[in-house]
Structure 1
Amino acid sequence: MKPSPVIQNKVKFLFFLFLSTCVPVYAQSVSSEQDIAAIRQQYQTINSLKLNTQRFTYESSGCVDGGVITYFLKNKEIVRITESGSIGDGSWVNEYYYSAGKTIFCLETIVGGPAIGKVTKTQYRYYIKNGRPVRVMKGQKIIPADSKATEILRTASKIYKAYTTKDFVSALCNP
């Protein structure tokens, strides 16, 4: 027995509705993976280059003890910045990668713990496209982008601009 034309039309409608909701998710997933692959390629390229470096130190009471910033330049263009420091029983190293002045990747490593006790190491990776995170990872786990991702992007921009002023305390210690 053949279903009525009304039922056939409803089935077709539901099928196309289902496809229209699934295909964009699949397309975003493929696009996201392609974006991440491109970012990884740029990361590897930057790390393989012989770059000029400029190193600066800074300190600010309550913000950082022994802060160090290193700018890596390809010709006169900043392509990478590392920023490290410590306060209390914790330390960090943040690496920022840029393409044409825009942040493409951030790697944040935090080490800390009590003076007596277990030291922990946490690593975050931020893959960025058009000023927005396309993926955020804590260790090997993909996590949702949150205010921490927003903060790291803001810091990446501030530290990039601080190269001209050398006012690292304002860029890194003032929210």
Structure 2
Amino acid sequence: MPSVLGLLGAKETAARECVERAREEVARVAAVLAEAERVLDRLVIAREAVVEVLTEPAAQAVARVEDAVESVSVAAVGAVPCSTVPHRREGLTSAVLAPDYRRVMSVLEHEAAAGRDGTRARTLAAALGLEAVPAKIEGVRSKARRLVERGWIAQHQPGVFSILTS
């Protein structure tokens, strides 16, 4: 007659073998899953790139490249290191600014032409087509402050920006 401890020992050994096989299977499935996720990520990126290329008109692509070239040339006209906003001086136009800063300048010029004395960051963000959420408004406010610091625009009161009149 077999002993109870012997029977339990045999069942324990069988259970350990089963657990080990299951762990090996989990490791194999995890490796297959990781590879499948890597392939999926690459395919998503490729699809997004193709959609971008196919939907962006050639003129916009050329303009984007020209904007990149202009922002690189900022260093040659006296930009602050690691900045896309050079200090304003005679002879510089807003064309030396990075595209986002030129857009802020354009909105402020439009507001000034409409007879408005100053524009708040929230209004700037809306005019730029951004959502009126704090993160977007703060981003615009930061850009406007940088333009003020470099002498491109004026800040008459906290948060109210306008084009310099000279």
**TM-score normalised to structure 2 length:** 0.33
Higher helix share: 2
The two structures have a TM-score, normalised by structure 1, of 0.32
Structure with bigger RCO (C-alpha 8 Å, 6+ apart): 2
Higher strand share: 1
Instruction: Indicate the structure (1 or 2) with the bigger Cα radius of gyration.
Output: 2
